Amino acid sequence: MFSNITTRDLCASDQDDLHDMASHWPTVRQLGGWPWPADLSFTASRARPFDGEGFVWGIVRAGRVIGTVGVTNGSLGYMLHSDVWGQGIATALAGRAIAHAFDTTDHDRIDATVWADNAGSRRVLDKLGLNHWHTCFEYAKARRTPMLSHHLRLRRAQWRDLSADAQ
């Protein structure tokens, strides 16, 4: 679908592209763990291959990182540059990440969290088949306040059924 978009591990040379995204308030306000204002040392800490449980890929178009997507510790996360919002990229790449996570781990489920005011991201998660299971207030690092968050979950069997239906 997006033949001009690839994914790969992040590296130090991606710092400028990541920092560009991290310097955009409408993007960062929707993330759980990124600071505001943008902090170059924090961005540098993310501009490297992920070394924990799971993976984080850089989303690359024309040599530029336009976002990230990954599944870490059983949780799906993604970030896109605002220039590419609304093009279906988040849905397509998050779907690839989910498939990869289920193909390469024994996790029975993948979770995701979205702020209650992030309708775009909620649509992505709904399209991918994640179901709401919990709502609570959580501290939003960039906003510096507790925010209402929705927790969603996708079970392996659901994903298998959804994937079979798509074929």
pLDDT digits (tens, 9 = 90+) for 97-108: 999 999 999 999
Distance CA 28, CA 30 (A): 5
pLDDT at 164: 79
Residue 167's pLDDT is what? Answer: 55
Structural domain count of the chain: 1
Whole-angstrom CA distances from 153 to 64, 116, 143, 157 are: 31, 15, 25, 12
Q: Domain containing 126 — which CATH number?
A: 3.40.630.30
Q: What is the pLDDT of residue 1?
A: 60
Do 78 and 69 meet the contact criterion of CB atoms below 8 Å apart? yes
pLDDT at position 2 is 74
pLDDT at 3 over 90: no
Question: Which amino acid would we find at residue 143?
Answer: R
Q: What is the pLDDT of residues 119-141, one digit of tens each?
A: 999 999 999 999 999 999 999 99
Residue 42 confidence (pLDDT) above 70: yes
Residue range of the domain that includes 47: 5-166
